[in-house]
Amino acid sequence: MMTGSSFFLSALAGLLACCIIQRYKLINPYILMVMMYVGINIILTASLNLINGYMGEFSVGHAGFMAVGAYVSSILTVRVFSAQYAQWFFPLALIAGGMGAGLVGMIVAIPSFKTRGDYLAIVTLAFNMIVKSAIENIDAIGGPRGFLGMHRLTTLPWIFIWTVLTLWIIRNFIYSNYGRGVLSIREDEVASELMGVHTRRVKVLTFVISSFFAGVAGGLFAHLLQFINPNSFNILKSTDILIMVYLGGVGSIIGSILGATIFTVLLEILRPLQVWRMVIMPLVLIFLMLFRPRGIMGLRELRLFVPEQYRKAVARWRLKRKKYDAVS
Amino acid sequence: MPCLEVKNLTHYFGGLCAVSDFNLALDAGELIGIIGPNGAGKTTIFNLITGIYRPTKGVVRFKGKDLTGLRPAAITVRGIARTFQNIRLFNNLSVLDNVRIAHYAGMKYTPLEGILHIGRFGREEERISESSLELLDRFNISELAETEARNLPYGMQRRLEIVRALATKPLLLLLDEPAAGMNPSEVHRLIDFVRIIRKEFSLTIILIEHQMRLVMGVCERIMVLDFGATIAEGTPEEIQNNPKVLEAYLGQEAAV
């Protein structure tokens, strides 16, 4: 029914490998840390790609939703759940963080999608700033000093599970009725509406799903670093996510994976160059935009990420047709 | 009761009157043409009927129900579909997806079933894939189902746009200059095509057109617009001999 059992088997094998690596400390801590960052960034990139790549809107405040998820889940694990059970409640805290971000996403989406046009970019930009200064001014959660006390609950297996889950759900969503609505909005919003697509509902739904996963990524991030402050979720963080989307490729799951991986790993490799890496990264981007304006895998997809039912629809219909013709 | 009833439809763009006091009563099964020089307000009428613009004044009633103020999608669901003057396909999507999207409103599963690919998802997807392919097959485009729409030849894109509109299961089809950019033999085929779909899908059709050959060939009744006002109405023969029409098209001197 899905991509077949091979998908699940490989996911299971990956999870097992992650558990073994984590348990027996097979990889040095630095590389492990980078791997976990890659996972978090894949979640962020894929979720933003849903809005900017698949739907063709332009949202620039993704870090704001990440912040909501990070703070909600951290407050839950530190203040609400008792410390000894915190690790058992961790998935719940992440989901709660995601739902918090999703709710906020809905509040942002409903007014900004009332009208057509470029308002979304401005609204999300403002939203990112509002979230940051709001957190700075709430002393109960540390204000500008930040929030700490989380245990290091984010482990490689958790990152793996959430990354696979995110990609799976986004893929499913795109290859469904609503997903086709999302794509048609990108292609031609007026025609889409006239084909009967409830464009406003589709847009809000997509935005909520996207911010949910940004919130989850925020929760994972908070419990990896064990410290968050409003500055970790400023507009620069949002820009990083945007770069990963456009580097890897708009409207593509494999593109999100590639974009997040290349960006994260490249930044680490270039670390010895210190300030100069902030010169090299933008240069890479400029050249990419010149030669591949849609990103590495823009609008293209790996077969693995296309559901079988979708891939084989035409072939199956032809077969059925042939059988029918043979009988009659 | 007429199928479509338009009363005193008026629309201003700022101070410019695009359509003034347009009236129309259309019975089920009728095929009428709207002609007129560029900028006469023909497309604006379609945009008003399909809900893209809200009329300044006037009512549009479809099967007795008032459509004014409804979202375009809601109007489509009630049974009005259209094509566009400049083709507006979903260019980067496959031919099949173009038609599948037109089934959007008829899909019976919730977002949750869609996200998890459970429940009614599989059956419904199978159903619309099949009905889309059947529809494409009837118009000989099923071979190209997996091609991206932008790679189709021009005439084929026009045809696909009409097929896509048919997939929304309309009762009333609005065709906005379907013959634009076509050569005489293609226009000839289009005339046959319009006749066929009209019969097979028992459609009511309004046709906006510049090419007289097409309008005179298929329409039973023609309305002529100029500067937003209806200047003539009647059978093709009546229209051809109407001095007002000649004036609008050729200028005052020619008509005298």
Cβ of A179 within 8 Å of Cβ of B114? The answer is yes
Give the residue-averaged pLDDT of B249-253.
Answer: 70
- For chain B, give the mean pLDDT: 91
Closest by Cβ to A191, choosing from B90, B111, B114: B90
Contact B76 A195 (CB under 8 A): yes
Question: B246 in contact with A at a CB cutoff of 8 Å?
Answer: no
Cβ-based contacts of A169 with chain B (< 8 Å): 115-116
Nearest CA-CA distance, residue A201 and chain B, Å: 11
Q: Cα–Cα distance between A170 and A129 in angstroms, integer?
A: 27
* Nearest-neighbour CA in chain A from B245: distance (Å): 32
Over residues B93-149, the pLDDT tens digits come to 999 999 999 999 998 999 999 999 999 999 999 999 999 999 999 999 999 999 999
**pLDDT tens, residue by residue, B7-41:** 999 999 998 999 999 999 999 999 999 998 888 89
Contacts of B101 in chain A (CB under 8 A): 180-181, 183-184, 192, 195, 197
- A119 and chain B: CB distance < 8 Å anywhere? no
Are the beta carbons of B52 and A190 separated by less than 8 Å?
yes
**Interface probe with B: pick from A176, A193, A195, A212, most Cβ of B within 10 Å:** A195
- Residue A259: domain span: 5-327
- The count of domains in chain A is 1
Q: Which CATH number is A293's domain given? A: 1.10.3470
Which residues of chain A register pLDDT less than 50? 1-2
Question: How much is the pLDDT for A117?
Answer: 67
Write the residue in B88, B117, B122 that is nearest to A191 by C-beta.
Answer: B88
Is A195 in contact with B116 (Cβ distance < 8 A)? no
CATH number, span B4-91+170-255: 3.40.50.300
Q: Is A49 on the interface with B (CB under 8 A)?
A: no
3-state secondary structure chain B: CCCEEEEEEEEEECCEEEEEEEEEEECCCCEEEEECCCCCCHHHHHHHHCCCCCCCEEEEEECCEECCCCCHHHHHHCCEEECCCCCCCCCCCEHHHHHHHCCHHHCCCCHHHHHHCCCCHHHHHHHHHHHHHHHHHHCCCHHHCCCEHHHCCHHHHHHHHHHHHHHCCCCEEEEECCCCCCCHHHHHHHHHHHHHHHHHCCCEEEEECCCHHHHHHHCCEEEEEECCEEEEEECHHHHHCCHHHHHHHHCHHHHC
A169 — contact with chain B (CB < 8 Å)? yes
Q: Do B114 and A299 touch (CB under 8 A)?
A: no
Q: Per-residue pLDDT tens for B193-203?
A: 999 999 999 99
Q: How many residues belong to chain A? A: 328
Domains in chain B: boundaries: 4-91+170-255, 93-147
Whether A314 has its CB under 8 Å from any CB of chain B: the answer is yes
A118 touches chain B (CB under 8 A): no
Does A197 touch chain B if contact means CB atoms closer than 8 Å?
A: yes
B12 touches chain A (CB under 8 A): no
The verdict on B111 touching A (C-beta cutoff 8 Å) is yes
